Structure 1
């Protein structure tokens, strides 16, 4: 019996791990990075698993072992962006917090990849409820908590009236920048973020 048990132990020791145990993290991150590049170059409709694998320097099998379709791959990448979220500033004033968030948003939207990827995915989301939900989480829900916390602190400091709306704050923060940078495709002139900061604070009831 001991001999038989030893043989089984030896076989178990030689047996290769299966499933997630063999998914190398460096390959996973290379694939995720390739998705962003492929989305920016080809767009969601023309993006393919073959193109992603080629750009990541892996075989198609490596992609399919992690995600069963390009939609699920994009959903995963978008969800990762949502998890990263927007930083929560705490400068001690509403205007300071708004200015920081506007700078972060402007920098993100000016990124060449974002300027290509975001409008393309929003258009695709009209045909995919799953993608629409993931984009809502990445582009709105994860940031709404930041805006709501910022507004709550400003209310506690007496800078704005109680009842100020965090969702309105988020709309005011991101709407003008999205329109200017991704719809009109215009530059952000010097002083624009300062003017927008004053407008947001005023709209929320601040002085």
Structure 2
């Protein structure tokens, strides 16, 4: 058998093994989506390219993820859950500090930074569906982080009536601005100022 025939046979065997296990298919596809976005950008993200990279049948991908934005949406959810966990340190200062540190670690990792840039570029360049996916993703992600604030209310560290979104904006928006716009340092002193700004925002709502 020729080398190309052997490679094709291996492709089919891997595809068959993964196709029989839904979770393995999902993990393989999400990994392929992330790699394509990091390496080549949103324009290169096609179902055929994902199928080849993930060793999954093209029809399987179309069936589970009919559009490119759906592929991006699921990949973002997996990525955020892995890289930005919601901490529970026992204090609001500790929680906000740990959360911001995780956000910055995600944003400053070269592969993840390039991934974010390619997705933002797609939304800025006129892909309205991707823009909606991003908005929904961040709303969902921030809603999860609100648990930190609710726990702090329960401990008496924060007032009961809060604008959760405004507090999280005060915490993380400067990190995004410095990472992608101003390119200024995001070290320890900067992070302390962000946490102080978020806590100050909370106290204005008493």
Structure 1 runs of 4+ aligned residues shifted over 6 Å read 82-85
Which range is displaced more, 47-56 or 177-186? Answer: 47-56
Give me the whole-angstrom Cα distance separating, in 1, the residues matched to 2:192 and 2:50. Answer: 40
Against the structure 1 CA distance between its residues 113 and 163, is the aligned structure 2 distance closer, same or farther, given a 3 Å change threshold? same
Give me the whole-angstrom Cα distance separating, in 1, the residues matched to 2:83 and 2:164. Answer: 16
Give me the whole-angstrom Cα distance separating, in 2, the residues matched to 1:59 and 1:152. Answer: 44
Aligned pairs for 1:133-172 within 5 A? 133-147=132-146, 149-172=147-170
1:178 is aligned, of 164, 171, 176, to 176
Give me the whole-angstrom Cα distance separating, in 2, the residues matched to 1:124 and 1:68. Answer: 18
CA RMSD of aligned residues (A): 3.1
Structure 2 residue aligned with 1:194 = 192
Q: Which has the higher helix share?
A: 2
1:19-73 Cα shifts (integer Å, max 9, x gaps): xx84654343222101101011211123333332333345545544543343332
Against the structure 1 CA distance between its residues 92 and 36, is the aligned structure 2 distance closer, same or farther, given a 3 Å change threshold? same
Give me the whole-angstrom Cα distance separating, in 2, the residues matched to 1:116 and 1:140. Answer: 22
Task: Tell whether the 8 Å contact from 2:36 to 2:44 is kept in structure 1 after alignment.
Answer: no
- Larger relative contact order (Cα-Cα within 8 Å, sequence gap ≥ 6): 1
Which range is displaced more, 177-186 or 153-162? Answer: 153-162
Which structure 1 residue ranges, 5 or more long, are not aligned?
1-20
Structure 2 residue aligned with 1:51 = 49
TM-score (norm 2): 0.72
Which structure 2 residue ranges, 5 or more long, are not aligned?
1-18
Give me the whole-angstrom Cα distance separating, in 2, the residues matched to 1:65 and 1:157. Answer: 47
